[in-house]
Structure 1
Amino acid sequence: MTGCMALVLCVAALSASTFTTDAKELSITTIKADPYTMTAGSELEGFCIDLISELSKKLGFKYKLHLVKDNRYGSRDTNGNWNGMMGEVVRGEADLAVAPLTRTADRERFVDMSTPFMQTGIGFILHKNLTSEESTFSLLAPFSTDTWVGILIAFLLTGLCIFLVARISPSEWAEPDSEQHSFTLFHSFWYITGALTLQGAGPHPKALSGRLVSAIWWLFAVLLLACYFANFNSVLQSNSKHLSIKSFEDLANQDVINYGTVDSGSTMFFFKNSKNPVYHRIYEHMERKKSFVPNMEEGVRRTLEGNFAFIGEAVSLDLAVARNCKLIRFEEAISTRAYSIAAPLGSPLVKNLTIAILQLSESETLTHLRHKWWASSCVGAEGVHSSGALHTHDLGGLFLLLGLGLAVGLLLALLELLSKARIQAKDSKKSCCSVLTSELNRRFGSGGESTEPDTSDKSKA
């Protein structure tokens, strides 16, 4: 008898914990919210749509999906009646509500909720132009990193070019065997450094080629310094208008940037019912300014327009930041909360859904769905550059002018040396190429022509 009773109980438990394809078609309500539920033509797609599909495969149920009529998650009015998805579940119009529905104590009293399928908290986003980061290297702010690298390369190439021009040009160094060369590599770099500080550093070039390179570098330095100081002034003025906001307390302690959250959402009620004076002051500000928004999309839009901070679920804000590189979400997240599936009180579905969600979590399916729908459009990009920093393309004409000047200077120096070599070749009845090679060897320390008398004396002996 006892064995029969046990068998009956096991069969009953098994039938209560599983679905079959013969079960009734479930009515599931959801709400449009990126990337949980989105329209793709006449179909719906998103994280929650994929989640419902995975759950139906595991539990073997059929379902009919519809969007909530009033486009609300669910809150109670003064008469205690629920609206939104919560209202549909409470009134029996839907068997399940599958959406980023926050699990709260108030909701748990009227519906049964499954184990969470996603953890989150409350955070806020701002436009990057409204934030200011304290930096020890603020003197570097007028130019971007690539511009500074370009300036360093230009400095090195110019110093090397002046050194080569002074070595090659016979007007600068007429007799390599007897005269001391004044433009050493060290002096060449010291000379162009003096130009960057608008100070001379003698001796100055005597040859036309050296003077041309020197004049081009001075012009480059003057224009570069003018751009630097003009942009440095604008950066300082811009930073003075920025606010250092990194936390909710910073947000509450200023009245320059407006902020708000979704009207009648769980985030709004968190601030409304909070005993924390800072959080309650945030709610009072939103109530006074009437800065509530009807949905998250409107909150993100207002944030992109500037001078507005949108407060919402951190996981949803992460998506907004991933899709809009001009936005930034701060690390602080308060009121840890979770998203769950809602069902009517006493529904036998909740236990099955909880087990299925745990299985999806253990198999990394939920992680895969998170990566699929939270893919960032900013991947591979350097992010939004600071609006004040000048980039290499902004100073492209200046770098091009310097490059042309260096090339022409080197060409003139070679022409000067070639002219001298032709005259020497004509006088000594040698080939111009051999004289030019010998002259280059003398100027760059290989000896060359200076060894010729010794070899001729040895042949005579």
Structure 2
Amino acid sequence: MKALIGLVVCAVALLSGCCTAGPAALSITTILQEPCTMTQGSELEGYCIDLLAEIAKKLGFKYEVHLVKDGKYGRQDESGNWLGMIGEVVRGEADLAVAALTLTATRELSVEMSTPFLQTGVGFILSRDLGSEESHFVSFLFPFSTEMWVGVLVAFLVTGLCIYLVARISPCEWADPETDEHSFTLLHSFWYITGALTLQGAGPHPKGLSGRIISAIWWVFAVVLLACYFSNFNTMLRSDTKHVSVKNFDELARQDVIDYGTVEGGTTFNFFKNSNNPTYRRIFQHMERKKSCVPSVEEGIRRAQEGNYAFIGEAASLDLAVARYCNLIRSSELIAMRGYSIAAPLGSPMMKNITVAILQLSESGELAYLQSKWWANSCMPDGGQAPQALQAHLLRGLFMLLALGCGLGLLIALLELASKARDQAKDQKKSCCSVLSAELSQRFRSGRANAGTETSEKSKA
């Protein structure tokens, strides 16, 4: 009886232990690569570690992370066996591989791959000392954008035309169109505002209130405009920003001065090896002939820092190097766009949920936050961002002030002429409108007549 009771107690204890024990922790394999996975004392940290924590929080599983034993990402040996993290997943030594694993067709055939959690491409970095300042014949136009220059030209033409019209209309400039000589022709008006724009001045100056208002507003416009131009031009001259002398892979393949290479046996190496593009084939042949490939990303970055070497790799690693080392700069061109994914054994029931969790993190902005956190640029130049051409909308208030001045000048000129027409209408006992119309017609007709008279006198002489 005692033996029976003991057996029942043992069975109850075993059953209660099975009921209270939680699910087994998942085994996660990863590899050291900044900033995806890094060591901090005895702990691991990085982009992929934070990503794994967020996915585990959403799906509710526990995990244990270990570093891959052979230190490889995942490639097949000569006998077709998988090495690295992919090999551990295939052999059942790990439930998931969370690292900067590139999603490829070969890997997709052997393991389950999630939707990419980070997009990248292939570029190259080289020493900033290999950059060269670009020189242009029209570099003096760079301080202003195209829209800004168009706005300045329109303002110049409109102001010159307004000066001309005001000088024609205002009786203060010439009281009697038949006897007085008119100084402000259309060409002279443009010459006058050109002199003001260069801060030199050109006479004669307007005598009427309307013309002086437009002139004063134009002087203010010219002074502010020149101050902005010279300030931005000086900033561009002193900028430390350099342009890479080799800007894309085609230029890299055509030159023989700068050596270049990538990590031997990696996905980038295989991309150039298997590509049918003539430029990429030339790059691969150069790397094979010169034996310029490196064993690791760290070695490639080190050689790029030493100079006269361009390291070709994935933009995620290159951007981190550029953010940390001020003497490096990355090409603007990216090719062979690819994504980093999480790997699981074939038929894994978790992969669907992991893909959904990654998409949710992307839609909520969490992935973008993690990228900005771990790829933060700690090496900004002294001058901050490269100076940009001044845009027209930044000075829209100045253009509005000029438009207001021109409109006010034209209005005052018309009021001055209307005042004179009213006095003449009283003396001649005519309607003010008829006198004003006749006065306007005489002023503009007189200019053409005077021009024809001067031409005939010159021909006789």
- With the shorter chain as reference, the TM-score category is 0.5 to 0.7
CA distance, structure 2, for counterparts of residue 139 and residue 349 of structure 1: 58
Task: Indicate the SS of the match to 1:100.
Answer: strand
Whether the 8 Å contact between 2:115 and 2:341 is mirrored in structure 1 is yes
Q: CA deviation at 1:284?
A: 1.6
CA distance, structure 1, for counterparts of residue 39 and residue 138 of structure 2: 46
Whether the 8 Å contact between 1:103 and 1:338 is mirrored in structure 2 is yes
Match for 2:291: what amino acid?
A: K
Partner in structure 2 of residue 61 of structure 1: 61
Match for 2:28: what amino acid?
A: I
- 1:41 equivalenced with 2:41 (yes/no): yes
- CA distance change for structure 1 residues 71 and 138 in 2, over 3 Å: closer, same or farther? farther
Partner in structure 2 of residue 249 of structure 1: 250
- CA distance change for structure 1 residues 255 and 384 in 2, over 3 Å: closer, same or farther? farther
Q: CA deviation at 1:263?
A: 1.9
CA distance, structure 2, for counterparts of residue 21 and residue 139 of structure 1: 73
Task: Indicate the SS of the match to 2:101.
Answer: coil
Partner in structure 2 of residue 11 of structure 1: none
Whether the 8 Å contact between 2:128 and 2:244 is mirrored in structure 1 is no
RMSD: 2.4
Q: CA deviation at 1:244?
A: 3.0
Partner in structure 2 of residue 279 of structure 1: 280
Whether the 8 Å contact between 2:36 and 2:48 is mirrored in structure 1 is yes
Whether the 8 Å contact between 1:125 and 1:328 is mirrored in structure 2 is yes
Partner in structure 2 of residue 97 of structure 1: 97
**Deviation per residue, 1:200-231 (Å, 9 max, x gap):** xxxxxxxxxxxxxxxxxxxxxxxxxxxxxxxx
Whether the 8 Å contact between 1:31 and 1:72 is mirrored in structure 2 is yes
Q: CA deviation at 1:139?
A: 11
Percent identity between matched residues is 65
Partner in structure 1 of residue 219 of structure 2: none
Partner in structure 1 of residue 338 of structure 2: 337
Match for 2:349: what amino acid?
A: P
Whether the 8 Å contact between 1:112 and 1:346 is mirrored in structure 2 is yes
CA distance, structure 2, for counterparts of residue 61 and residue 378 of structure 1: 38
- 1:82 equivalenced with 2:82 (yes/no): yes
- CA distance change for structure 1 residues 29 and 77 in 2, over 3 Å: closer, same or farther? same
Q: CA deviation at 1:138?
A: 11
Q: CA deviation at 1:382?
A: 2.8
Partner in structure 2 of residue 269 of structure 1: 270
Partner in structure 2 of residue 352 of structure 1: 353
Q: CA deviation at 1:362?
A: 1.1
Partner in structure 1 of residue 259 of structure 2: 258
Partner in structure 2 of residue 106 of structure 1: 106
Q: CA deviation at 1:289?
A: 1.9
CA distance, structure 2, for counterparts of residue 138 and residue 81 of structure 1: 60
- 1:70 equivalenced with 2:70 (yes/no): yes
* TM-score (norm. length: structure 2): 0.55
Q: CA deviation at 1:384?
A: 12
Match for 1:296: what amino acid?
A: V
Q: CA deviation at 1:379?
A: 3.3
CA distance, structure 2, for counterparts of residue 383 and residue 331 of structure 1: 19
Unaligned residue ranges in structure 1 (runs of 5+): 1-19, 141-238, 386-461
Whether the 8 Å contact between 2:28 and 2:66 is mirrored in structure 1 is yes
Task: Indicate the SS of the match to 1:101.
Answer: strand
CA distance, structure 1, for counterparts of residue 121 and residue 268 of structure 2: 9
Unaligned residue ranges in structure 2 (runs of 5+): 1-19, 141-241, 387-461
Match for 1:47: what amino acid?
A: Y
Whether the 8 Å contact between 2:244 and 2:331 is mirrored in structure 1 is no
- 1:302 equivalenced with 2:309 (yes/no): no
CA distance, structure 2, for counterparts of residue 21 and residue 353 of structure 1: 24
